[in-house]
Amino acid sequence: MVNPSWRTLRYNDPFMSLVVVGSVAYDGIETPHGKEDRLLGGSATYISLAARFFGPAQIVAVVGEDFAAEDVQLLKDRGVDLEGLERAAGKTFYWSGVYSEDLNDRTTLRTDLNVFAEFSPKLPAAYRSESYLFLGNIQPTLQSQVREQMTGARLVGGDTMNLWIRENRQELAETLRRWDVLLVNDSEARMLSGENHLRRAAEKILAMGPRTLIIKRGEYGAVLFRRDGYFVTPGFLLESVFDPTGAGDSFAGGFMGYLAGCGADPDDHLVLRQAVIYGSVLGSFCCERFGVRRLLDLTRDEIDARYREFRAFTQF
């Protein structure tokens, strides 16, 4: 049995910062449990709010003139560094969607890219020497540009989506070559590899560059694939799911935040497994309330208790 706090001590530089590139948005969300408009959202928001439990998080994103001062304050209060948050003329990215009765399907009602349409990530000078980078779901060429500016990065992870897999396959292949970790969901993995079967899909994707592939399976958990082995975790059985929005991004934040927080080596298979559990823990908490709300009142003690519960309910 490995004690995660002991593992942390093995590394030289704990509590390293995680640079997160992605979107900051306002979301309109309707689930069987209620309806809310203009909730603070976006991938960079969820990722940084989940990652900050393990160490500092720094956002590279863009918002419009309508972005509320209290939302800036909310992120600052949680220790999220906003030097890389650009404010542009126009409105903040807005998305709205409605979930099915069982929360397994969601229909997008509106996507107004607004200032996000012209987003060109600008890394503040201070961020360029950081060691941990997560490239949220943006156009692959933009991901490459950020990656190239962080030449000394120790561990680079990233995300993508069906749109880029379909429309920008070549650019995506180029940026993937320089990532350590790719996080996708199962349908994206199938689309990217052209393989329906998860193990064969993983083999093809690992051949594209990333040495670690995480496939998220929603309520059914996640799988980690590497050439030196694989790891499967079931999902946490929540008492009730209020709103699954941002669960995948919270997973990414928990996963990458834990790795940065313990200064992990990108090929330490055991620490990567622990990071998958922390990702699952953060993703599960995210669903317990609307939008980012559960991430705001969450404590590190609650996170560690659920991590221990994962160990207890998977051991045999």
Interface ranges with a second copy (CB under 8 A): 2, 102, 196-199, 217, 220-221, 223, 229-234, 237-240, 270, 273-274, 276-277, 311-316
Tokens of 145: 């540009």
Distance from the first to the final alpha carbon of the chain: 13
Q: How far is the CB of 154 from a second copy (least distance, A)?
A: 22
Q: How far is the CB of 300 from a second copy (least distance, A)?
A: 19
- Residue (25 or 192) nearer to a second copy, CB: 192
Question: Tokens 């834990």 sit at which residue?
Answer: 258
HEC-encoded secondary structure of 144-213: HHHHHHCCCCCEEEEECCHHHHHHCHHHHHHHHCCCCEEEEEHHHHHHHHCCCCHHHHHHHHHCCCCCEE
Beta strands 106-112; 93-99: pairing state: antiparallel
Closer Cβ to a second copy, 116 or 255, answer by number = 255
Q: Which is nearer to a second copy, 209 or 234 (CB)?
A: 234
Q: Which is nearer to a second copy, 193 or 274 (CB)?
A: 274
Q: Least distance from C-beta 314 to a second copy, angstroms?
A: 6
Cβ closest to a second copy, residue 127 vs residue 307: 307
Q: Whole-number minimum distance, CB 240 to a second copy, in Å?
A: 7
| Shortest Å, Cβ 200 to a second copy | 8
Q: What does DSSP assign to residue 236?
A: P
Question: Do 194 and 169 contact (CB within 8 A), yes or no?
Answer: no
Q: The tokens 């120790």 sit on which residue?
A: 154
